[in-house]
């Protein structure tokens, strides 16, 4: 149980384009989903927290207009990187939890912006 999927697992895009990453909880309903960014050989940096049906809460220093987060249902959250630039290249990981319980993580999405 408690499986979280992410799609795509890897994406390469051109600078200036937008990329959407999906995060799904497959066998439970996620009241809260989290989006993290991980740089090489580094720990996870929380970008934003989203609760189903409400606006995401962004961490300090994260551009909300650049990283659009939507949590439209209890099983799906999306992260859209708008007008991507090479410095946005990273490993993006989502997690999901039910009512503040344990977070379960997706397998991650590797984004490369050329």
Partner 1 sequence: AQSVTQLDSHVSVSEGTPVLLRCNYSSSYSPSLFWYVQHPNKGLQLLLKYTSAATLVKGINGFEAEFKKSETSFHLTKPSAHMSDAAEYFCAASGRALTFGSGTRLQVQP
Residues that bind partner 1 (CB under 8 A): 4, 6, 34, 42-44, 46, 49, 91, 93, 95, 102-108, 110
Question: Which residue's CB is nearer to partner 1, number 14 or number 41?
Answer: 41
**Shortest reach from residue 111's CB to partner 1, in Å:** 13
Question: Which residue's CB is nearer to partner 1, number 10 or number 85?
Answer: 10
Please report how many Cα atoms fall inside a 13 Å half-sphere around the Cα of residue 4, on the Cβ side: 26
**Shortest reach from residue 16's CB to partner 1, in Å:** 26
Question: Do the beta carbons of residue 104 and residue 96 sit within 8 Å?
Answer: yes
Q: How far is CA 98 from the centre of its chain?
A: 17
3-class DSSP assignment, residue 111? strand
Q: Dihedral sign for Cα 103, 19, 110, 107, please.
A: positive
Question: Which residue's CB is nearer to partner 1, number 38 or number 82?
Answer: 38
């Amino acid at each position: 149980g408690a499986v979280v999927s992410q799609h795509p697992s890897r994406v390469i895009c051109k600078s200036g384009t937008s990329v959407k990453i999906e995060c799904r909880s497959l066998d439970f309903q996620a009241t809260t989903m989290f989006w993290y960014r991980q740089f090489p050989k580094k720990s996870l940096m929380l970008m934003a927290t989203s609760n189903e049906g409400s606006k995401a809460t962004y961490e300090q220093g994260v551009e909300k207009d650049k990283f659009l987060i939507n949590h439209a249902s209890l099983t799906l959250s999306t992260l859209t990187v708008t007008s991507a630039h090479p410095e946005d290249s990273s490993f993006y990981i989502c997690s999901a939890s039910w009512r503040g319980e344990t977070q379960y993580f997706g397998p991650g999405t590797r984004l490369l912006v050329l």
